[in-house]
Amino acid sequence: MAKKIGKWLGRILVTFLVTLVILVGGIYALMCVLVYGPSKKAGELFVMSVRETSAIGFLAEWFYTEEEILRITENNSIKEATTITDTNMVNVGSKDGTELTGSDESETMPIEVIDIKGATYNGKLMIVKDPSRVFVGTVPVFGDGDGQKVDAMCKRYEAVAGINGGEFVDGDVTSTAKPVGLVISEGKLVYGAPEGNYHVTGFTKDNVLVVGNMTGQQALDMGIRDCVNINSNIGPFLIINGELQDVSGVGGGLNPRTAIGQRADGAVLLLAVDGRQANSLGASFSDLMYIMNEYGAVNASTMDGGTSTQMCYNGEIINHPYSPWGARECPTAFLVGGENQ
């Protein structure tokens, strides 16, 4: 009996190893086709996509030198902007003339959720008509350790909706409860310093979305009540003062993405695009730009993406984070308060 069991286990092990070799070989062959095939764009898209992930970023180094990877990155990105939002371009409550998909009835809804589809992605776009309801929520305490998923933040703040927010420490040591850069929440500077320079996305006390590079003190002087920070290579600005930003090449790889924008009438656009899945490979930064532009954004910026990408509505995550363990914990989120908040 023991001999039969050993033989059976041996066959299972051999089958597993053969299957693993075939799978790894197939993946490697596919990557070779992407890198060395006839399409230069496909190879660059491959590099940009994997380099934005902490888990498999090393794959690009199998096929390219550091110098080649740097060149590809520089030639396929959104160039850093020096302009700051002109708050006079947004008139909260006005009619901006943007023709949106949906019925006239949808324009009277305080929150509208739209399915977004493109050639390589699926996602959710949430339109929040009252920008005063959008604010930055945070974990109870910043520091080493785990943050919170957006649905948990919504529950704690009694918010009806939200998306993940700014950048956090992620590398050899990951602390999803520790932000990178500036965080202002409900009028208080809760992380960062007045003299530091930051890549800011946030709302003023007049409920206007502001994006731009500035110090913490400049943000406070502008009357910013809620904001987060995310480095430009991870979360570039997409639209500033109605101008689409300068895109080089493919404008980033295909990955899960989160973004926030605002129309001229003040309505806030929250976007979560799924990625790294068979039915949704993901979106590039330029894809986000065109989606935001299509739905009337005059200012828009990217948030953290990848496993962080998540949108919550009425207590549930309504997009499809690609991780089998669900969405990632984060230190900050853009939340939508209840109508009476």
Count CA atoms within 13 Å of residue 292 on its CB side. Answer: 37
The whole domain housing 53 covers 2-74
Q: What's the pLDDT score for residue 205?
A: 97
- Out of 69-83, 217-231, 327-341, least confident range: 69-83
Query: For the residues 45-73, what does the mean pLDDT come to?
Result: 74
Overall number of domains in the chain: 2
Query: For the residues 238-261, what does the mean pLDDT come to?
Result: 91
Position 27 confidence tier, pLDDT thresholds 50, 70, 90: very low
Based on the fold, state whether residues 118 and 22 are members of the same structural domain. Answer: no
Residue 233 has pLDDT above 70, yes or no: yes
Based on the fold, state whether residues 161 and 230 are members of the same structural domain. Answer: yes
Residue 45 has pLDDT above 80, yes or no: no
Where a domain ends, among 47, 74, 101?
74
C-alpha dist (Å) from residue 203 to 85, 98, 132, 133: 11, 22, 9, 11
Position 308 confidence tier, pLDDT thresholds 50, 70, 90: very high
Mean residue pLDDT across the chain: 85
Based on the fold, state whether residues 188 and 226 are members of the same structural domain. Answer: yes
Alpha-carbon span 250 to 61, nearest angstrom: 20
Quick one: what percent of the chain has pLDDT higher than 70?
A: 80
CA angle 282, 259, 236 (to 5 degrees): 90
Closest CA to 316 of 326, 304, 307, 305: 326
Residue 293 has pLDDT above 50, yes or no: yes
Alpha-carbon span 228 to 332, nearest angstrom: 8
Based on the fold, state whether residues 66 and 152 are members of the same structural domain. Answer: no
- Out of 66-80, 195-209, 302-316, least confident range: 66-80
CA 304 from centroid of its chain's CA atoms: 4
Residues 164-180 pLDDT 10s: 999 999 877 889 999 99
Where a domain ends, among 15, 42, 74?
74
Query: For the residues 307-315, what does the mean pLDDT come to?
Result: 96
Based on the fold, state whether residues 222 and 190 are members of the same structural domain. Answer: yes
Based on the fold, state whether residues 36 and 154 are members of the same structural domain. Answer: no
Quick one: what percent of the chain has pLDDT higher than 90?
A: 61
Q: What's the pLDDT score for residue 56?
A: 67
Residue 184 has pLDDT above 80, yes or no: yes
Residue 6 has pLDDT above 60, yes or no: no
Position 32 confidence tier, pLDDT thresholds 50, 70, 90: low
Closest CA to 305 of 242, 257, 238, 261: 257
Based on the fold, state whether residues 38 and 107 are members of the same structural domain. Answer: no
DSSP H helical segments within 224-295, as ranges? 285-294
Based on the fold, state whether residues 15 and 136 are members of the same structural domain. Answer: no
Residues 194-206 pLDDT 10s: 999 999 999 999 9
Cβ atoms of residues 278 and 306 within 8 Å:
no
Based on the fold, state whether residues 39 and 184 are members of the same structural domain. Answer: no
Categorise residue 143: left if φ over 0, alpha if ψ from -120 to 50, beta otherwise: left
Alpha-carbon span 236 to 113, nearest angstrom: 24
Q: What's the pLDDT score for residue 15?
A: 53
Q: Provide CB contacts within 8 A for 73, sequence distance 6+.
A: 47, 48, 51, 233
257: in domain: yes
Residue 16 has pLDDT above 80, yes or no: no
Residue 174 burial (CB count, 10 A): 15
150: in domain: yes
Specify the higher pLDDT residue, 100 or 73. Answer: 73
Based on the fold, state whether residues 65 and 96 are members of the same structural domain. Answer: no
pTM for the model stands at 0.84
Cβ atoms of residues 253 and 284 within 8 Å:
yes
Q: What's the pLDDT score for residue 108?
A: 65
Alpha-carbon span 283 to 306, nearest angstrom: 11
Residue 79 has pLDDT above 90, yes or no: no
Based on the fold, state whether residues 192 and 333 are members of the same structural domain. Answer: yes
C-alpha dist (Å) from residue 128 to 111, 134, 263, 321, 332: 5, 8, 10, 22, 19
Based on the fold, state whether residues 173 and 206 are members of the same structural domain. Answer: yes
80: in domain: no
Position 325 confidence tier, pLDDT thresholds 50, 70, 90: confident
Alpha-carbon span 53 to 76, nearest angstrom: 16
82: in domain: no
- Tally of residues, the chain: 341
Q: What's the pLDDT score for residue 149?
A: 97
Q: What's the pLDDT score for residue 26?
A: 43
81: in domain: no
Cβ atoms of residues 305 and 108 within 8 Å:
no
* Residue 134: strand, helix, or coil: strand
Q: What's the pLDDT score for residue 57?
A: 67
Q: What's the pLDDT score for residue 179?
A: 97
Residue 99 has pLDDT above 70, yes or no: no
Where a domain ends, among 74, 103, 138?
74
309: in domain: yes
The residues with which 283 forms a beta bridge, in sequence order, are 255
Alpha-carbon span 87 to 108, nearest angstrom: 24
203: in domain: yes
Position 101 confidence tier, pLDDT thresholds 50, 70, 90: very low
Q: What's the pLDDT score for residue 64?
A: 78
Cβ atoms of residues 50 and 73 within 8 Å:
no
68: in domain: yes
Cβ atoms of residues 227 and 183 within 8 Å:
yes
